Structure 1
């Protein structure tokens, strides 16, 4: 796979030294997965591996995808240390070019994938096709209201999205919505003040 500018950017970020993310699983993933029977999960944007490792510790088999090979190397090391390396397959993929297997996964989880509108919508629809009948799709992103909350967010036009815009991508005759909301959480502004941000939460079960 030829390296794209996005891949080079993320490789540089993960290779700059120090830990990029908190090392803790995303709370909305924990909330969702605790209600499900462990099966096979696809995680998009695996980064340093916190979500994939947590899922594996709960008994899931995980296919963890990221654009950055540097991130995946770090994630694999963390999984070894956690004793769950045998439950995770680390997959170096460009999710915009990759054609994932259809109707395969019991859980597909996507956190904070912020692409321009048309590109993002294409990826989300494609990932929906990978969910097996009875499986769960979980998509979480930064809500556009965060641009006024004093926190650092991707600022390009159309990069942030509402949960309602995600719901519109999925046929209600195929998908049963479980959650579609702007979920508030506490945060700190760039100059150290407390604030509230919102995560766009879309969760649905595939019928069948």
Structure 2
């Protein structure tokens, strides 16, 4: 499948394709990146500010929702420093993990190497990645920062990636899509994709299995630890 993805796929040892070594703080992936350079640079800057941005633990909603699924091919959208991707790989999933930040991918690949986990790392934006359509048994997007476009490119890319019989799992912090949420965070919620927008696109070929707000299993440390509730959308593609 990696040959069908029009992006740079990074080896698990953390080095970019064609190079012999890389540091865990992130090698340069400029030549292989597919997407908006401004988005890449913004997220590289955020990751570079801290040695570790996230908790290093898999997201609780992912662990809970995947418990009853047979391992197959999974796409981890916005994989960050790799905790979810590594957990999925060690649970028997064939993992493709996508991320815009090369700094984050360098760390993720190093963590995977240390954990003995085999993951395909893709340095790209979701809408630009040219993923093989209908190829994943699970598409997981945990708190993704997906920018809205007039044509709904990110939402469509999420749905198009799911194979018939497969599951889309989209999790976000509750209340983040409300207009007042951007006052403290310095962002406009109207610029981003939220679970309700994806749910609105689901037609007769989808069945919503979970669409709810629930208390969050809050990790120790890491950005976002102050959020106490999640919005969880789980939908199965019927055909």
TM range (shorter): 0.7 to 0.9
Structure 1 residue runs without a partner (length 5+): 188-194
Counterpart CA distance in 2 for 1:61 and 1:186 is 25
Counterpart CA distance in 2 for 1:17 and 1:116 is 24
3-state secondary structure, aligned to 2:190: coil
Aligned pairs, number:
199
Per-residue deviation at 1:146?
7.8
Residue among 83, 89, 98 paired with 1:56: 89
Moved over 6 A (4+): 146-149
RMSD: 2.8
Counterpart CA distance in 2 for 1:115 and 1:29 is 18
Native 8 Å contact 1:143 1:162 kept in 2? no
Residue among 180, 187, 190 paired with 1:155: 187
Counterpart CA distance in 1 for 2:170 and 2:150 is 15
Higher strand residue share: 1
Q: TM-score, normalised by structure 1?
A: 0.83
Native 8 Å contact 1:162 1:200 kept in 2? no
Counterpart CA distance in 2 for 1:160 and 1:52 is 23
TM-aligned CA distance change 1:114 to 1:159, over 3 Å: farther
Q: Counterparts of 1:45-194 in structure 2 under 5 Å? A: 45-84=78-117, 87-118=118-149, 121-144=152-175, 153=185, 155-159=187-191, 163-171=195-203, 173-185=204-216
**Larger RCO (CA within 8 A; separation ≥ 6):** 2
Per-residue deviation at 1:118?
3.6
TM-aligned CA distance change 1:120 to 1:159, over 3 Å: farther
Native 8 Å contact 1:186 1:196 kept in 2? no
Counterpart CA distance in 2 for 1:186 and 1:39 is 25
Per-residue deviation at 1:111?
1.4
Per-residue deviation at 1:99?
2.1
Structure 2 residue runs without a partner (length 5+): 1-32, 219-225
3-state secondary structure, aligned to 1:179: strand
Q: TM-score, normalised by structure 2?
A: 0.73
Per-residue deviation at 1:180?
0.6
Residue equivalent to 1:190:
none
Counterpart CA distance in 1 for 2:196 and 2:206 is 14
Native 8 Å contact 1:154 1:160 kept in 2? no
* Residue-by-residue CA offset, 1:95-137 (whole Å, 9 max, x unaligned): 2322211110010001112344446942122221111111110
TM-aligned CA distance change 1:161 to 1:183, over 3 Å: farther
TM-aligned CA distance change 1:61 to 1:115, over 3 Å: closer
* Residue-by-residue CA offset, 1:131-189 (whole Å, 9 max, x unaligned): 1111110011123368679x965631415666433311111x111111011223377xx
